Amino acid sequence: MTIAIFLVALIGAIALGIPIAYALLLSGVALMIHLNTFDAQILAQNVIEGANSFPLLAVPFFMLAGEIMNVGGLSKRIVNLALALVGHVRGGLGYVTIIAACLMASLSGSAVADTAALTALLLPMMAKAGHDPRRAGGLIATSGIIAPIIPPSIPFVIFGVTANLSIGKLFMAGIVPGILMGVSIAIAWWLSARREGVVPAPKASGAERFKALRDSTWALVLPVIVLVGLKAGVFTPTEAAVVAAVYALFVATVVYREMTLRQLYGVFVAASKTTAIIMFLVAAAAVSAWLITIANLPAQLIELLRPFMDSPTLLLVILMVVLLLVGMAMDLTPTILILAPVMVPVVKAAGIDPIYFGVLFVINGVIGLVTPPVGTVLNVVAGVGRMKMEHVARGVLPFMAAQLIVLFLLVAFPQLVLAPLNFFYR
């Protein structure tokens, strides 16, 4: 009964068009009334405490680093490096997109920021070269969602805080799956590009490649600093976010000199707006998370799923299908905030590594970013690239299928995630 009240209140509020943050608050109030514990002061305290978290400080700083990266020329130089390396092969611009997406993912951790930069830089080039704009838009969209998997990752920060898991371990566990996602998209692009008679660009000379590498070195050093610092215990993920933002600001203003003080104000405003949206969602979800614990909903869900507990793989498949369906109607952040507190106790009870499950959860959620009708990343490509949403949604299908294959390979072979994690934390 308690689960039904929570779901009806939440889904009903969303169906009425109420913003998800307010829907979370309403579902929390509904649970409080049902449990006869309604108290406006407790409600306010949970909202405030939900956002009062040191690890969550990583979110605004990673968002700021991503904005600086796009405005300050770091993204452009990474794209130029990829162009110099593989721009001359058949379908080279597609591989440029994938390589640039993987490199940019290691800088910002934001799918929206990376996708917007890739669309602005590469979609016109791909269309001019003769590639189908729909397929090119789909490729850029699915490449952009690698950003939340390869560290640093804003969704991993939110998942770690919500589920009380190590953010550093989530970061390290995402490296190999993120690379596999890039490889899967590259294979799908290779199959698609063979049917297009696009003439590749001339091969860059050795001098041009060296210049592109030299120009992008400052940008490429950033992920090395973050990952080595985390692995060596020099700083926490939150401190790593500050280092990333300060380093990106230094490179953009002092080294590349492409960002002025006037632009800096706009960058701070853009990062603040996005952070405000995320943090309000987190604060609102704290009420529901507290009441989920009080109402003992995880234990009730464990009882419902008890018949599947003896088969962890089957349980994971069921949870992945549920998350795919939810991801089609809900953005990644609210999905984490609503479902992580409920699902993580279930997988722990089934003997599944929660870090491993967290990686699967976020991969599943980012695939939801390119599935209609919500499809946040699809909207970014359509908006920045001035395309119709349905055209981008059609172009994304073969690449989304490739990423779904990777997801279920990770379900079938957990060591693809656990072996690298154990290597980093042995």
Instruction: Give pLDDT, residue 359.
Output: 95
Structure tokens at 82: 């990829």
Instruction: Give pLDDT, residue 297.
Output: 67
Instruction: Give pLDDT, residue 104.
Output: 83
Instruction: Give pLDDT, residue 197.
Output: 67
> Could you give the CA distance from residue 372 to residue 129 in angstroms, rounded to a whole number?
28
Give the domain range for residue 256: 39-424
> Could you give the CA distance from residue 256 to residue 16 in angstroms, rounded to a whole number?
48
Instruction: Give pLDDT, residue 90.
Output: 78
Instruction: Give pLDDT, residue 63.
Output: 83
Please state, in angstroms and as integers, the Cα–Cα distance from residue 380 to each residue in 18, 114, 294, following that order. Answer: 22, 10, 39
Query: Which comes out higher in pLDDT, residue 132 or 374?
Result: 132
Q: pLDDT tens digit string along 266-288?
A: 888 988 888 888 788 878 877 77
Q: In the chain, what percentage of residues exceed pLDDT 70?
A: 96
Q: Kindly tell me if the per-residue pLDDT of 335 is higher than 80.
A: yes
Q: How far is CA 400 from the centre of its chain?
A: 15
Question: In this structure, are residues 139 and 399 in contact, taking their beta carbons and an 8 Å threshold?
Answer: yes
Q: pLDDT tens digit string along 240-255?
A: 888 888 998 999 998 9
> Could you give the CA distance from residue 238 to residue 38 in angstroms, rounded to a whole number?
34
Element (H, E) at 234: none
31, 23, 39, 46: which is closest to 1 by C-alpha? Answer: 31
Q: Mean pLDDT across the stretch 68-79?
A: 84
Instruction: Give pLDDT, residue 139.
Output: 92
Q: Kindly tell me if the per-residue pLDDT of 5 is higher than 80.
A: no
Helices 111-129, 133-144: inter-axial angle, 10-degree rounding: 160
Q: Mean pLDDT across the stretch 345-351?
A: 89
Quickly state the pLDDT bin for 414 (edges 50, 70, 90): very high
Quickly state the pLDDT bin for 362 (edges 50, 70, 90): very high
Lowest-confidence segment of 142-156, 292-306, 325-339 by average pLDDT = 292-306
Instruction: Give pLDDT, residue 223.
Output: 82
18 domain-assigned: no
Question: In this structure, are residues 190 and 91 in contact, taking their beta carbons and an 8 Å threshold?
Answer: yes
Quickly state the pLDDT bin for 415 (edges 50, 70, 90): very high
Instruction: Give pLDDT, residue 3.
Output: 65
Q: Mean pLDDT across the stretch 220-242?
A: 82
Q: Mean pLDDT across the stretch 39-43?
A: 74
> Could you give the CA distance from residue 10 to residue 28 in angstroms, rounded to a whole number?
9
Per the structure, the count of domains in the chain is: 1
147 domain-assigned: yes
13 domain-assigned: no
Instruction: Give pLDDT, residue 354.
Output: 94
Rounded to 5 degrees, φ, ψ at 166 are -70, 120
Instruction: Give pLDDT, residue 374.
Output: 65
Query: Which comes out higher in pLDDT, residue 365 or 54?
Result: 365
Say which residues have a Cβ less than 8 Å from residue 417's Cβ, sequence separation at least 6: 173, 176, 177, 355, 356, 359, 360, 410
Q: Mean pLDDT across the stretch 64-74?
A: 84
Q: Is 314 exposed, middle or buried (0-12, 13-18, 19+ CB in 10 A)?
A: middle
- pTM assigned to the model: 0.83
3-state secondary structure of 120: helix
Q: Mean pLDDT across the stretch 58-84?
A: 84
Please confirm whether the linkage preceding 373 is cis (ω < 30° from 0). yes
Question: In this structure, are residues 183 and 177 in contact, taking their beta carbons and an 8 Å threshold?
Answer: no
Question: In this structure, are residues 350 and 312 in contact, taking their beta carbons and an 8 Å threshold?
Answer: yes
- The chain-wide mean pLDDT, for the chain, equals 84
Q: Mean pLDDT across the stretch 33-57?
A: 76
1 domain-assigned: no
Lowest-confidence segment of 164-173, 226-235, 292-301, 393-402 by average pLDDT = 292-301
Cα-based angle 219, 270, 261 (whole degrees, multiple of 5): 65
Lowest-confidence segment of 87-96, 137-146, 214-223, 260-269 by average pLDDT = 87-96
4 domain-assigned: no
Say which residues have a Cβ less than 8 Å from residue 206's Cβ, sequence separation at least 6: none
CB-side neighbour CA atoms (13 Å) of 141: 35
Question: In this structure, are residues 365 and 335 in contact, taking their beta carbons and an 8 Å threshold?
Answer: yes
Quickly state the pLDDT bin for 71 (edges 50, 70, 90): confident
| Sign of the dihedral defined by the CA atoms of residues 34, 277, 168, 153, in that order | positive
Lowest-confidence segment of 6-10, 89-93, 164-168, 311-315 by average pLDDT = 6-10
> Could you give the CA distance from residue 321 to residue 318 in angstroms, rounded to a whole number?
5
> Could you give the CA distance from residue 364 to residue 343 in angstroms, rounded to a whole number?
14
Query: Which comes out higher in pLDDT, residue 35 or 218?
Result: 218
Instruction: Give pLDDT, residue 17.
Output: 78
Q: Kindly tell me if the per-residue pLDDT of 426 is higher than 70.
A: no
Cα-based angle 382, 220, 156 (whole degrees, multiple of 5): 60
Q: Is 215 exposed, middle or buried (0-12, 13-18, 19+ CB in 10 A)?
A: middle
Quickly state the pLDDT bin for 421 (edges 50, 70, 90): confident
25 domain-assigned: no
Instruction: Give pLDDT, residue 1.
Output: 63
Q: Mean pLDDT across the stretch 199-228?
A: 84
Query: Which comes out higher in pLDDT, residue 255 or 303?
Result: 255
Please state, in angstroms and as integers, the Cα–Cα distance from residue 62 to each residue in 65, 113, 172, 258, 295, following that order. Answer: 5, 11, 17, 20, 34
